[in-house]
Amino acid sequence: MSTVTDTRPVVLREASLTICGRREGKTRACNSCLRKADAAVRMATEPSLNTALLPRLADVICGSAGHPCPACWEKATTLLLELRA
Ligand SMILES: [Zn+2]
Ligand SMILES: [Zn+2]
């Protein structure tokens, strides 16, 4: 019970759904995407990481070693728009 405006859990849930893939009736992402969302949100809200943020985000989401696939590029773009809105 707290009146503090802690939006982080909400942000995290939304981000994880974006990463996992949104679907009608789907309310939570899988554990793997939850972990990715945690890393991605931390990255995206870190002001010092403005340069090359998108490729890094895509990489975290894809779990690739520097070569994210097109689908994850798209997710990273969506995520960034959501987080920086
Ligand atoms: Zn998932
Ligand atoms: Zn990918």
HSE toward the beta carbon, residue 70, CA cutoff 13 A? 0
Tell me, what's the pLDDT at 84? Answer: 77
Tell me, what's the pLDDT at 46? Answer: 79
pLDDT at 72 over 70: yes
Q: How far is the CA of 57 from the centre of ligand 2 (A)?
A: 11
Q: How far is the CA of 61 from the centre of ligand 2 (A)?
A: 7
**Tokens of residue 44, six digits:** 């995206």
Residue 51 CB coordination number (10 Å): 8
Tell me, what's the pLDDT at 3? Answer: 57
pLDDT tens for each residue of 18-62: 999 999 999 999 999 999 999 999 988 877 766 789 999 999 999
Q: How far is the CA of 8 from the centre of ligand 2 (A)?
A: 25
Q: How far is the CA of 81 from the centre of ligand 2 (A)?
A: 18
Ligand nearest to the CA of 60: 2
